[in-house]
Amino acid sequence: MLRVTDLSCERGGLPVLTGIGFEVATGQALILRGPNGIGKTTLLRTLAGLQPAVAGAVTFPEDEGAYASHADGIKTALSVTENLTFWADVYGAALPDDILETFDLADLADRLGGTLSAGQKRRLGLARLGVIGRKVLFLDEPTVSLDGFSVKLFAKWLQKTHLAGGGVAVIATHIDLGLDAPDLDLTPFKADADAGGGTDEVFL
Amino acid sequence: MIALLLRDLRLAVRAGGGFGLGLAFFLIVVVLVPFGVGPDTAVLSRIAPGILWVASLLAALLSLDRIFALDYEDGSLALLATSPMPLEGAAMMKALAHWVTTGLPLTLAAPALGFLLSLAPEAYAYLLLSLLIGTPALSMIGTFGAALTVGLRRGGLLLSLLVLPLYVPTLLFGAEAVRRGADGLDPSGALMLMGGITAGCFALLPFATAAVLRINLR
């Protein structure tokens, strides 16, 4: 469902990763591994289309990609339900009935986003993924500030609902989510900083 | 796209500072003018159209840097950019939300403040009309400026420097329409030119705004 061929990406005009290729079949996930600064976030942003690729191609069904990063996009002056309803409206989707229970947010439904703890905010940010109904997810450190119970909750949703429902996911994480998913270590794809290929090259 | 407009309006109401601040600023600037130039009604009524329009520009400027800054900081701008909503549409909705929270209250309050500056009685209708036609352009141009400076720390001052020169045509025709109305001349030419500017802004600037946002989000 997701195919990446010979992809190179850059960050701030410097090449970061080069020659990446992988395929993720329907119902599968891929875990990105590698030390800090290797380019996991850059790769995910490139896959999601937030920044252009230097070379190579990313193919997945049109209008099926979604991106989630460290920043959850939660509005502090809106309640938990209002935050989710907004994203449902943007994606033209209906709010699933059990979404609050799935992410253990039922007791917080009417709380304002600004009064949530870091972990609760994170759960709300992840619940957005359950609302928008996209098949191809690019997740950047989805479990930051989650406790063990919430990590299991999220992993369960990912496995039982998202992947079982025909989705795919590319996840950058340092912890073990307990998913049956292959790892991709990005270290071999590290670009030579002098190799060029950044978009500034034509100006230099 | 309507969802974004409604969300922004709701946020403006709840977070405060949306409706009230720009309006209060407008009020204070206009009230300060008679203190500065003296109570001579002949002088005041002569400069009233210009003062009301300049004060509207400054009041509209006040809340511009919040248009994208908050969404940028909490990450929702990146999420919007990857959502099915076209970024061009999002830019237009942002401008519209800014107008409803700033331009519209300014327009409605302006006649009351015209009274403070002893604006000529014939000019009130044209003051209302010119602000109604002109303030949407201020919001749209300002949204473009806000997109240009979205990733910058303390971009507010730069934003003012970028946006104020772009406000000149709207100011020229807006104040001219009110002045002509006060002098009993036909202001339709100035109003139509201003309408043209507003229509042009809404036709072109959403695309420029979206392009700039995409670059700033990289």
Stretch B99-113: mean pLDDT, rounded?
Answer: 92
pLDDT tens digits along B70-85: 899 888 999 999 888 8
Would you call B76 and A73 a contact, using CB atoms and an 8 Å cutoff?
A: yes
Q: Which range has the top average pLDDT, A99-108, A180-189, B12-21, B141-150?
A: B141-150
pLDDT computed for residue B151 by the predictor = 84
User: At a CB cut-off of 8 Å and minimum separation 6, what does B107 contact?
Assistant: B128, B131, B132, B135
Residues 45-74 of A with CB under 8 A from B: 48-52, 63, 65-74
Q: What is the pLDDT of residue A102?
A: 87
Which pLDDT score is estimated for A109? 87
Task: Give the pLDDT mean for B106-133.
Answer: 92
Render chain A in DSSP notation, one character per residue: -EEEEEEEEEETTEEEEEEEEEEE-TT-EEEEE--TTSSHHHHHHHHHTSS--SEEEEE--TT-EEEE-S-----TTSBHHHHHHHHHHHTT-PPPTTHHHHTT-GGGTTSBGGGS-HHHHHHHHHHHHHHH--SEEEEESTTTT--HHHHHHHHHIIIIIIITTT-EEEEE-SS-------EEE-GGGBPPTTS--STTGGG-
pLDDT tens figures, B189-210: 999 999 999 999 999 999 999 9
CB contact under 8 A, B84 and A75: no
Q: CA of A47 to nearest chain B CA: how many angstroms apart?
A: 11
State the Cα–Cα distance between residues B212 and B198, nearest whole angstrom.
20
Tokens 């190799």 correspond to what residue?
A195
Flag residues of chain A having pLDDT under 70.
193-204
Q: Phi-psi bin for B85: left (phi > 0), alpha (psi -120 to 50), beta?
A: beta
Mean pLDDT on B20-41: 90
pLDDT value of residue A200: 55
Which pLDDT does position B152 carry in this prediction? 86
Task: Using alpha carbons only, give the angle B124, B129, B134 rounded to the nearest 5 degrees.
Answer: 125
Banded pLDDT at B13 (limits 50, 70, 90): confident
* pLDDT at res. A94: 86
CB contacts, 8 Å: B218 with chain A: 50-52
Contact B79 A75 (CB under 8 A): no
Chains A & B: contacts with CB separation below 8 Å: 70
Which one of A67, A78, A91 has the shortest CB-CB distance to B84? A91
Sequence letter at residue B138: L
Question: Which run of H or E residues covers position B177?
Answer: helix B168-182
Q: What is the pLDDT of residue B43?
A: 92
C-alpha distance from B108 to closest chain A C-alpha (Å): 27
Mean pLDDT of B64-73: 89
